[in-house]
């Protein structure tokens, strides 16, 4: 069985080289609209919109909520 992870000189391909080659292949197979769509989908999935301050259904609070609560706590602590 041939080793498919070797370059022209017989050395194994580095992770960096594999990533570069994969990125080039993806770039050759897809147009600008593809990247715009996956970027939009990723932004929608990561911004926490529509979940009332929680980061998904895992019960954790959002960064915004944590910052607000932390600010309230430090204001209370500075008045003592």
Kindly state whether residue 68 falls inside one of the protein's structural domains.
no
How many angstroms separate the CA atoms of 78 and 46, rounded? 34
Residue 19 confidence (pLDDT): 94
Number of domains in the chain: 1
What is the domain range of residue 34? 14-47
* Per-position pLDDT tens, the chain of length 80: 445 555 566 778 999 999 999 999 999 999 989 988 988 888 888 775 544 444 455 677 788 888 888 887 766 665 54
How many angstroms separate the CA atoms of 4 and 22, rounded? 14
Residue 78 confidence (pLDDT): 55
Note the pTM of the prediction, 2 decimals. 0.38
Kindly state whether residue 34 falls inside one of the protein's structural domains.
yes
Residue 56 confidence (pLDDT): 55
Kindly state whether residue 43 falls inside one of the protein's structural domains.
yes
């Amino acid at each position: 069985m041939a080793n498919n992870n070797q370059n022209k000189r017989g050395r194994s391909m580095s992770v960096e080289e594999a990533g570069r080659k994969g990125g080039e292949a993806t770039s050759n197979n897809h147009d600008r609209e593809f990247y715009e769509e996956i970027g939009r989908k990723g932004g929608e999935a990561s911004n926490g919109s529509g979940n009332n301050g929680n980061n998904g259904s895992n019960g954790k609070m959002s960064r915004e909520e944590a910052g607000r609560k932390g600010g309230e706590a430090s204001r209370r602590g500075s008045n003592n």
